[in-house]
């Protein structure tokens, strides 16, 4: 019913990276199924609609903007650190008490709080219901097994559940938007620092060619996209980081040495973050072994050429990221091993073909939140490792699961103690 071209030769992936035409976009049969979760926001849009949205949203995630978010990210992490300290203290007053913690939900709450504050001007408490219902929808859609590849839609009962969640999510987000509108109209002093929601509001209101309904859906859909993509993938990546660091405590020690060197108080800032080379290497290696995004998929809207291949209109091109990230021909015989030192001289020297490293996607649709995610992951690891040491719990069951992103199927359980 659909013709697919599976591309995992590094040379072809490189050509796919270089292909900047708008005639290559997200496959329509997949984006149609993702419509309840993402609406017509940037993650689903194609062509000129996508280009317009990208131009608007990208500005919020430029590195100079992300540097200004560091303080908020650190502030958002404090409840997690405090809670883990309380859990450890609850184990008794003996020397070095150890507690078992399932980290996933804590990291989701932290990541959700960060994205709420920096992009929408409110804390996680206000967006909590939105995140909870997005997560419920993600699970509902993922339970359909190969829903991305199946020719038909969801079963009727499942479709009704998804439709109900979609309506509730849109209503919750629109309430937050209306609240922001009121705040803006009551605040007579214009702020030079505008968050994403303000930019979306201004953009939709300044375009005289669109009606109110389109304007509303444009704002709500992009909020859904940023809520989902901005917090879910970063939280899952942080979970994989803690799992692998729990298995390899010697890398925790290396990071602590770096922390004592660059921020003795254990709290980084925008200027010290680039100095954390070991932390960067660890994150890069985790994203190689467990990239949250499982694949890059594109559909040719017109006949196009990639390298020496002529791709007819309608053909879908796929690259499976975990496969190419573990290819011994690209990474060497230790491709399945956790070895952050392979990134000691950057991505360009880590493997034979740097274009084969695509944790944030490929080509002109490279993930907008790359800088945001890397900075947040650095802060999370630095703050946790400077306060705690941890090993993997015997109760941990390794089972990567695909639920639109690749996450630990049974969560990450670690044994944690204060330093």
Q: Which residues are annotated as a binding site for heme?
A: 367
Q: Which residues are annotated as a binding site?
A: 367
Q: How far apart are CA 371 and CA 95, in angstroms?
A: 40
Closest listed residue to residue 224, CA positions, set 361, 127, 121: 127
Q: Which two tokens stand for residue 398?
A: 């390794």
| DSSP-based helix, strand, coil % in the chain, nearest 5 | 60, 10, 30
Surface-to-core class of residue 22, CB atoms within 10 Å of its CB (0-12 exposed, 13-18 middle, 19+ buried): middle
Q: Would you state the structure tokens that stand for residue 251, as one six-digit string?
A: 């890398």
Q: What is the DSSP letter of 69?
A: T
What lies within 8 Å, CB to CB, of 190 at 6+ separation is none
Token readout for 102 is 């399932």
The count of other CB atoms within 10 Å of the CB of residue 162 is: 21
Q: How far apart are CA 224 and CA 240, in angstroms?
A: 24
Q: At what angle do helices 212-247 and 104-120 cross, to 10 degrees?
A: 140
Residue 168: CA count within 13 A, CB half-sphere = 17
Other Cβ atoms within 10 Å of 305 Cβ, number: 12
> For 25, how many CA atoms within 13 A lie in the half-sphere containing its CB?
17
Which helix H or strand E contains 65, and what residues bound it?
A: helix 63-67
Coil, strand or helix: which one is 34?
coil
Mapped onto helix, strand or coil, the DSSP state of residue 419 is: coil
From 337, 314, 340, 315, select the one nearest 326 (Cα to Cα). Answer: 337
β partners of residue 4: 316
Closest CA to 243 of 415, 37, 69, 39: 415
């Amino acid at each position: 019913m659909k013709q697919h071209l599976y591309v995992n030769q590094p040379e072809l992936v490189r050509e796919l990276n270089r292909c900047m035409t708008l005639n290559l976009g997200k496959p329509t049969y997949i984006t149609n199924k993702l419509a309840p979760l993402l609406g017509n926001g940037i993650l689903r849009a194609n062509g000129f609609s996508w280009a317009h949205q990208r131009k608007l949203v990208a500005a919020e995630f430029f590195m100079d903007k992300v540097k200004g978010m560091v303080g908020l990210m650190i502030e958002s992490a404090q409840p997690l650190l405090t809670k883990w300290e309380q859990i450890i203290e609850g184990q008794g007053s003996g020397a070095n008490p150890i507690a078992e913690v399932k980290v996933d939900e804590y990291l989701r709450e932290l990541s959700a709080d960060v994205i709420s504050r920096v992009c929408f001007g409110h804390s996680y408490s206000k967006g909590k219901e939105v995140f909870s219902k997005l997560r419920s929808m993600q699970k509902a859609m993922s339970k359909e097994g190969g829903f991305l590849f199946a020719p038909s839609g969801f079963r009727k009962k499942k479709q009704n559940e998804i439709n109900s969640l979609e309506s509730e999510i849109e209503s919750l987000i629109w309430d937050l938007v209306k609240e922001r509108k009121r705040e803006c109209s009551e605040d007579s002093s214009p702020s030079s620092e505008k968050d994403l929601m303000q930019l979306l509001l201004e953009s939709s209101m300044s375009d005289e060619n669109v009606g109110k309904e389109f304007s509303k859906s444009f704002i709500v859909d992009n909020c859904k996209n940023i809520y989902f993509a901005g917090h879910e993938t970063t939280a899952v990546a942080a979970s994989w980081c803690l799992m692998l660091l729990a298995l390899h405590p010697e890398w925790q020690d290396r990071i602590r040495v770096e922390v004592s060197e660059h921020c003795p108080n254990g709290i980084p800032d925008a200027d010290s973050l680039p100095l954390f080379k070991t932390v960067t290497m660890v994150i890069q290696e985790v994203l190689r072994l467990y990239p949250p995004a499982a694949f890059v998929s594109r559909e040719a809207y017109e006949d196009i050429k990639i390298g020496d291949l002529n791709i007819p209109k309608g053909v879908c091109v796929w690259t499976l990221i975990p496969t190419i990230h573990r290819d011994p021909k690209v990474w060497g015989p230790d491709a399945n091993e956790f070895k952050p030192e392979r990134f000691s001289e950057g991505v360009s020297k880590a493997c034979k073909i740097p274009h084969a490293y695509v944790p944030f996607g490929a080509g002109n649709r490279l993930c907008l939140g790359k800088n945001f995610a890397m900075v947040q992951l650095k802060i999370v690891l630095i703050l946790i490792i400077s306060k705690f040491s941890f090993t993997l719990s015997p109760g941990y069951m390794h089972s990567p699961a695909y639920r639109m992103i690749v996450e630990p199927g049974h969560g990450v359980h670690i044994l944690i103690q204060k330093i």
